[in-house]
Amino acid sequence: MLLSRSLRLGFTAGFLALLLGGCDDGARQSANLAPVPFQNGEECHVCGMIISDFAGPKGEAVAPGAVHKFCSTAELLGWWLQPENQHSGAHLYVHDMARSDWNHPDDRHLIDATSAFYVVGVKRPGAMGATLASFADRADADRMATAEGGHVLRFSEINQSVLQGVSGDHQHH
């Protein structure tokens, strides 16, 4: 009976250790899904161009064990719209352009891409295809849209036809 009780205590202790270890792994994984600063010389995951060679907001997808960086918000969104990428567990980030210089977006102001507001149709230089200016606050997006003739969309409103429709306005700069 004593051996049986010892085994039960051992199994219980082992099980609790696994549970606690699992919680710790979850916390570590969440921490690893934070935005990652862009570095000079990094290439866009989609087009292979050097990201720092272009003005405008950038994007990144941070998944467990992988970070994909993009030379523009449009490249990030186009990548994300591919069904196989939506199951990666990635957190998506874009620059808040209300808090960044257009020519040198500030990595301290990377925001959740899924809750951002996007101004489509701006006539500013960017990377390949469409230039979509990203903002944390609707009021900032509305100001740019009013000043520069674009219109504001939410993440859920952006699809391939939106990206293709505005990419005709700008080609690679």
Domains of the chain: which residue ranges? Answer: 1-31, 51-167
**d(C-alpha 60, C-alpha 124), whole Å:** 20
User: What number is the average pLDDT over the span 48-63?
Assistant: 94
Decide if pLDDT at 5 tops 80: no
Other CB atoms within 10 Å distance of the CB of residue 55: 17
CA distance 55 to 57: 7
| Burial class of 58 by CB neighbour count within 10 A (0 to 12, 13 to 18, 19+) | buried
Q: How far apart are CA 137 and CA 156, in angstroms?
A: 16
Distance CA 8, CA 85 (A): 44
Does the model's pTM come out above 0.75? yes
